[in-house]
């Protein structure tokens, strides 16, 4: 018996934009950053990077990142940098923070962001 046929695994990433009173744009990400959703994250940042000097990506509700998601985060950081935009990760979920520490990627995102990444 298969149970509920519509209840397959959820591979979604939602990204909402939030602007602080100072005018800083934050992308509030929720869900999983995986092979299925990595392009969505990259496209969202790429479309905004040329218009902003700083973009924040709030990863507090991103509970899962696979190797494609990790590659997307780093590749998106490099792409944004080449457009003159700093991509900073904020409110990083502890599990994701551990992954960034293990892969030594925190050094790229930690500058000026000690609240979220050591």
Percent of the chain scoring above 70 in pLDDT = 83
- Beta strands 86-90; 54-65: pairing state: parallel
In contact, 74 and 108? CB cutoff 8 Å: yes
pLDDT at position 83 = 95
**Average of per-residue pLDDT across 53-74:** 95
What is the pTM assigned to this prediction? 0.82
Average pLDDT score over residue span 45-70: 95
Sign of CA dihedral 21, 79, 81, 35: positive
Domains of the chain: 19-109 (3.30.750.24)
User: Residues 82-97: pLDDT tens digits?
Assistant: 999 999 999 999 999 9
pLDDT, the chain, mean: 86
Cβ atoms 31, 52 nearer than 8 A:
no
C-beta separation of 23 from 49 below 8 A: no
């Amino acid at each position: 018996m298969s149970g509920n046929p519509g209840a397959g695994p959820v591979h979604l990433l939602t990204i909402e934009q939030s602007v602080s009173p100072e005018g800083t744009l934050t992308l509030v990400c929720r869900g999983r950053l995986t092979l299925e959703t990595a392009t969505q994250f990259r496209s969202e940042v790429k479309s905004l990077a040329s218009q902003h000097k700083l973009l924040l990506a709030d990863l507090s509700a991103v509970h899962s990142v696979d190797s494609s998601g990790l590659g997307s985060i780093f590749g998106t950081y490099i792409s944004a940098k080449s457009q003159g935009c700093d991509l900073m990760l904020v409110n990083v979920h502890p599990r994701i923070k551990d992954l960034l520490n293990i892969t030594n990627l925190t050094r790229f995102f930690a500058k000026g962001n000690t609240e979220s990444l050591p």
